[in-house]
Structure 1
Amino acid sequence: APSIHHAPVTRFAPAPTGLLHLGHLVNAVYVWGLARRHNGRVLLRIEDHDRGRSRDHFESAILDDLEWLGLEPDEPPIEALRHGPSPYRQSDRASRYAEVIAGLRHRGLVYPCRCSRRDIADTAVAARGAETRYPGTCRDHRPDPDEAVGSRVIMEPGEETFIDVLLGTQRQDPARQCGDVLVRDRLGQWTYQIAVTIDDWDQGIDLVIRGEDLLSSTGRQIRLARLIGRPDPPTFLHHPLVLKPSGEKLSKANRDTGLAELRQAGVSPETLLGEAAFRGGLLEEARPLEVEELPGLFG
């Protein structure tokens, strides 16, 4: 597996659709720890592309939690996100996404799609445990101009191969996995896949650190990145999810307990950082951990 290059630029990118919990904190420990270990930078990005579920009060709570934990991003300053629009907030970047997709449409790589999730579920034979593949219904059948339509980017058959820092060589064929990728839904909202791909390129992200649950998205994001003109994909590291049982002190806290709630219950930042490092497989047993100790978890 590749080692992490010197001075990487990575990101912590929560969605303000709920409070931060221990699962997010495991990711933060990897992000800040590895970035500091390799003299890199951490960007904070608010992934609020899902306008239906994102809430301003969740964004505020996320910023409060990070300040309390002592996890300061290199960019942007947390205060800047509190005051007005930011290029690090997805809902403030709609015009940029539209510009990129217009370029793909001009090249004949995007088509309108009227299918709902239900339509796709009804036509697709989903293999057990596998994701539902879009069968290409609208690729050749263009919807009426008056219909509410989303947009899809064509995925031609072919494998994307990448080497994950922890998991080694991975091969994914987006055309077989998911079919043509939805980049804008029927409500006009930009989707996760295209928003993060454009953001990572524009923001110079060359190391993506995230949970194993997002491994299956990587091939299609590498493909999308190439289609929009990014020559070299970032390095990817997918870490284990929170699976370990908790230490005594936090036995009441399941994976979904908000950090804010634990903070109000009197749990210290150091206890939470240690718990996250333990659950992420970075400590043999849970013990309090200072922010300054995070780089040392990585050799």
Structure 2
Amino acid sequence: MRPERLTSRFAPSPTGVLHLGHVAHALWTWGVAGALGGRVLVRMEDHDRGRSRPEYERQILDDLEWLGFAPEPESVRSLWGRPSPWRQSDCEDVYLAAAARLRDAGLVYGCDCTRSTIARELGDGLVEGEELRYPGTCRSRGLEPGPGVGLRVRLDPAAEEFDDLRLGVQSQRPSEQCGDLLIRDRSGNWTYQFAVTVDDFRHGVNLVVRGEDLLSSTGRQLALAHLLGRAVPPRYVHHPILRNEAGMKLG
């Protein structure tokens, strides 16, 4: 049987123009995909509806062409029109269907907690500089969906292991890192973790190239993908982040 061709993606958020950090990431994405005989799709992750702008999206596409990066034509052509399956804001029905699948499996519950609420709940267990771990406050409250109520997915305590092509074997336990995963926030926006997992599954992305700053997201996305029915996980490469002289991430 012929092996499946590797498919990666370049998926910026159109909240501004491309910067050097984006360019470095594009070099890694096209470089790794090309070395492995794969292809690269382009996707607009405009889940942040408040800051995303159509003019930024158009500029990003123009800049990619000017820089010589060539995404698969199917995704680029689609993004020049509306609606597009490669633009998150045009895919509400897709995310609703994915959330319904999780809800029908008894995995989704309403949550109205804010970051400050979670911090208070953690109390002495809150470690400065570490990610807020949701303690399950709303698991048994039975909150109905509505204004001011987000959605979370129950995560079991299992560890997720994956072999990063650059960093080697990694093991993460999402239930201990972040707790039950927020998939829709209290304002009604689908979260990055949820949208990117659904999109990678439906777009057939089986090679994820991204910065090391997103390494901690991988375990929870693998757990969520499994709950959504993805049998074969993607391959991963987490690359170094471009930083300035002060050590701050560019972009």
The two structures share one fold, judged by TM-score above 0.5: yes
Letter in 2 for 1:255: L
Q: Is the 8 A contact 1:11 1:42 kept in 2?
A: yes
Q: TM-score, normalised by structure 1?
A: 0.77
Return the alpha-carbon distance in structure 2 between the equivalents of residues 188 and 115 of structure 1: 14
Return the alpha-carbon distance in structure 1 between the equivalents of residues 112 and 172 of structure 2: 27
- Quote the RMSD (CA, aligned, Å): 1.8
Q: Is the 8 A contact 2:33 2:40 kept in 1?
A: yes
Indicate how the Cα distance of structure 1 residues 79 and 142 shifts in structure 2: closer, same or farther if over 3 A, else same.
same
Q: Is the 8 A contact 1:44 1:76 kept in 2?
A: no
Partner of 1:101, secondary structure, is helix
Indicate how the Cα distance of structure 1 residues 26 and 146 shifts in structure 2: closer, same or farther if over 3 A, else same.
closer
Partner of 2:236, secondary structure, is strand
Q: Is the 8 A contact 1:72 1:78 kept in 2?
A: no
For 1:133-282, list aligned pairs within 5 A: 133-143=133-143, 148-243=148-243, 255-256=250-251
Deviations 1:125-152 (A, max 9, x none): 4323210111111001223666521100
Partner of 2:74, secondary structure, is coil
Partner of 1:76, secondary structure, is helix
2:118 to 120, 127, 133: 120
Q: Is the 8 A contact 2:159 2:171 kept in 1?
A: yes
Return the alpha-carbon distance in structure 1 between the equivalents of residues 144 and 91 of structure 2: 28
Give the % identical residues.
52
Return the alpha-carbon distance in structure 2 between the equivalents of residues 76 and 49 of structure 1: 21
Deviations 1:231-287 (A, max 9, x none): 011011100001376xxxxxxxx934xxxxxxxxxxxxxxxxxxxxxxxxxxxxxxx
Indicate how the Cα distance of structure 1 residues 160 and 21 shifts in structure 2: closer, same or farther if over 3 A, else same.
same
Q: TM-score, normalised by structure 2?
A: 0.91
Letter in 2 for 1:74: E
Return the alpha-carbon distance in structure 1 between the equivalents of residues 138 and 183 of structure 2: 14
Larger Rg: 1
Return the alpha-carbon distance in structure 1 between the equivalents of residues 75 and 176 of structure 2: 41
Q: Is the 8 A contact 1:76 1:88 kept in 2?
A: no
Return the alpha-carbon distance in structure 2 between the equivalents of residues 54 and 129 of structure 1: 28
Return the alpha-carbon distance in structure 2 between the equivalents of residues 235 and 184 of structure 1: 26
Count of paired positions: 244
Aligned to 1:86: 84
1:84 positional shift: 1.5
1:44 to 32, 35, 42: 42
Return the alpha-carbon distance in structure 2 between the equivalents of residues 217 and 67 of structure 1: 30
1:53 positional shift: 1.8
Aligned to 1:289: none
Deviations 1:88-126 (A, max 9, x none): 111111111101111111111000111122212232243
Q: Is the 8 A contact 1:7 1:38 kept in 2?
A: no
User: Which runs of no fewer than 5 residues in structure 1 stay unpaired?
Assistant: 246-253, 257-299
Return the alpha-carbon distance in structure 2 between the equivalents of residues 146 and 78 of structure 1: 35
Q: Which is worse superposed, 23-32 or 218-227?
A: 23-32
1:79 positional shift: 4.0
Return the alpha-carbon distance in structure 2 between the equivalents of residues 194 and 89 of structure 1: 15
